[in-house]
């Protein structure tokens, strides 16, 4: 690590600490403001920074318990990470030996040699305690080890008593990049190019039209990115449209469509032969759907403002998909800042909004029609509890008994309780989905 890299990493870490380590856009904005930082420097700085964000509690635990240093000291944090994981980080970003050898001279230049020696002397004791921490079974140790707020650990224990440790452990694992291929595409076109570029990949665990690759792959350098061969969409998210079971000639509403990933998937699943309406509270978010839809040549999707829906589409839709705005707790692998930002109060407020959205779409649904409610949350407050409340308040609806085994491969490993959960330790993000039917 050079002096230049160390100083910029220190500055980035200081900025993050001052923001409570909650700003997911900090790195992007930091590099945009620092044009002098080249691509190789960015890789190294990014890896060190995200190691800190992912293991913040553990690093501060080591600082206070073994090094007897104050928390949130950027210099201590960087040197500690280097002694713990520096070699692995530098191998990941392919740092050459000449650059790696500059670390000691950097410490001398910055007058940090004594601090480094002090930390090195404590490493055997620290690593010994780390091994003990890994063997501990209490929630407080789990919280420290995986840098997850204790209230989240305890909440997941309540919701998933048999699986919560696996869920918490998964938060610091690297997420894959999932590609969703159109049903009629010959998958060999994608696989052959990945193999030709020596890019490791795996086929989807649940969707035969999914391929998983490392999130560090730059897809823009591949020819397949220039053709309508795939969409980037987490495999768990892909299952939502499959779980909906859309059929040809059905009238289907994607109510919280955003950029329209689910609407595109529904068009693919129905052979572009359904009537698909995409809408969103912020209709500007849907503008990207025009380009994405035309890329695949879909004709079945149109965009309608939500206020027009309630005027022109009463009792109209056979199926309504609500991909509800939520806490995003199922995406903590992708956004480690989020675990320091979430609060139970925020989750409860979101649950209220989710209930409102469910009730909003009732007038749009035809008799016998279905609502598919989905979130990228793993908290019961936003999932099972919302649906339980909805059914209690709307006697004209009932749960749909979905035969998941016929829809989704490998479904026996998923969590099924008043709907379906994909959980983040199963190589997807965490999602919840459920269907209810209007019976009166």
Helix axes 3-18, 26-33, angle to 10 degrees: 130
- What's the CATH code, domain 235-438? 3.40.50.150
pLDDT on residue 325: 93
Cα 169 from Cα 49, distance rounded (Å): 20
Alpha carbon distances (Å) from 389 to 16, 160, 163, 249, 382: 39, 20, 25, 32, 11
Cα 156 from Cα 162, distance rounded (Å): 10
Residue 302: φ, ψ to 5°: -135, 155
**How many residues are recorded in the chain?**
440
Cα 167 from Cα 20, distance rounded (Å): 24
Any idea of the CA torsion for 258, 261, 264, 269, to the nearest 10 degrees? -130
Cα 48 from Cα 50, distance rounded (Å): 6
Tokens representing residue 252 in the block: 């289907």
Topology (CATH level 3) of domain 176-232: Alpha-Beta Plaits (3.30.70)
Q: What is the CA radius of gyration of the chain?
A: 24
Q: Strand pairing of 275-278 and 301-303?
A: parallel
Alpha carbon distances (Å) from 179 to 201, 259, 297, 421: 10, 16, 19, 20
Show me where the domains of the chain are located. Answer: 3-135, 176-232, 235-438
- The reported pTM is 0.91
Alpha carbon distances (Å) from 140 to 3, 146, 150, 336, 375: 37, 10, 6, 19, 28
212 touches 176 (CB < 8 A) = yes
Q: pLDDT tens for the chain, 440 residues: list them.
A: 889 988 999 999 999 999 998 999 999 999 999 989 998 889 889 999 999 999 999 999 988 888 888 888 899 999 999 888 876 666 666 555 455 557 778 878 888 888 889 888 888 888 888 888 888 889 999 999 999 999 999 999 999 999 999 999 999 988 888 889 888 887 787 888 888 888 888 888 888 888 888 777 777 777 666 666 788 899 999 999 999 999 999 999 999 988 889 999 999 999 999 999 999 888 888 888 888 888 888 999 999 998 899 899 999 999 999 999 999 999 999 899 999 999 999 999 999 999 999 999 999 999 999 999 999 999 999 999 999 999 999 999 999 998 888 878 777 777 777 888 899 998 899 999 999 999 87
193 touches 211 (CB < 8 A) = no
Residue 198 CB-half CA count within 13 A:
0
pLDDT on residue 92: 62
176-232 and 235-438: identical CATH topology: no
Which residues are 416's β-sheet partners?
A: 420
């Amino acid at each position: 690590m050079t002096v230049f890299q160390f100083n910029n990493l220190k500055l980035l870490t200081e900025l993050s600490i001052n923001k409570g380590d909650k700003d997911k856009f900090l790195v992007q904005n930091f590099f945009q403001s620092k044009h002098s930082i080249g691509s190789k420097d960015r890789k190294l700085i990014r890896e060190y920074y995200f190691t800190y964000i992912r293991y913040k509690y553990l690093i501060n635990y080591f600082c206070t318990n073994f090094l007897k240093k104050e928390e949130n000291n950027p210099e201590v944090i960087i040197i500690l990470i280097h002694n713990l994981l520096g070699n692995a980080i530098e191998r990941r970003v392919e740092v050459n030996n000449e650059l790696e050898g500059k670390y000691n001279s950097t410490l001398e230049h910055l007058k940090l040699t004594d601090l480094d020696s002090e930390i090195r002397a404590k490493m055997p004791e620290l690593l010994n305690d780390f091994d003990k921490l890994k063997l501990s079974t209490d929630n407080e140790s789990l919280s420290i080890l995986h840098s997850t707020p204790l209230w989240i650990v305890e909440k997941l224990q309540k919701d998933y008593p048999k699986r919560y440790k696996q869920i918490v452990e998964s938060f610091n694992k690297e997420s894959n990049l999932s590609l969703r291929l159109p049903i009629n595409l010959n998958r060999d076109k994608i696989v052959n190019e990945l193999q030709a570029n020596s890019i490791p990949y795996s086929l989807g665990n649940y969707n035969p039209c999914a391929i998983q690759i490392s999130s560090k792959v730059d897809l823009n350098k591949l020819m397949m990115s220039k053709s309508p061969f795939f969409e980037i969409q987490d495999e768990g998210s892909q299952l939502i449209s499959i779980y909906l079971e859309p059929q040809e000639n059905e009238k289907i509403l994607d109510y919280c469509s955003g950029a329209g990933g689910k609407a595109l998937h529904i068009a693919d699943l129905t052979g572009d032969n359904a009537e698909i309406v995409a809408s969103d509270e912020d209709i500007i978010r849907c503008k990207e759907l025009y380009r994405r839809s035309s890329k695949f040549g879909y004709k079945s999707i149109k965009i309608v403002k939500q206020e027009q829906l309630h005027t022109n589409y009463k009792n109209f839709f056979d199926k309504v998909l609500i991909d509800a705005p939520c806490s995003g707790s199922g995406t903590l692998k992708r956004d480690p800042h989020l675990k320091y930002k979430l609060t139970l109060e925020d989750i409860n407020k979101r649950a209220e909004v989710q209930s409102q959205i469910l009730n909003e779409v009732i007038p749009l649904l035809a008799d016998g029609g279905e609502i598919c409610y989905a979130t990228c949350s793993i908290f019961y407050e936003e999932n099972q509890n919302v649906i339980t409340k909805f059914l209690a308040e709307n006697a004209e609806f009932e749960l749909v008994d979905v035969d998941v085994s016929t829809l989704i491969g490998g479904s026996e490993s998923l969590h099924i309780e008043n709907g379906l959960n994909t959980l983040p330790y199963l190589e997807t993000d965490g999602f919840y989905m459920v269907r209810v039917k209007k019976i009166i």
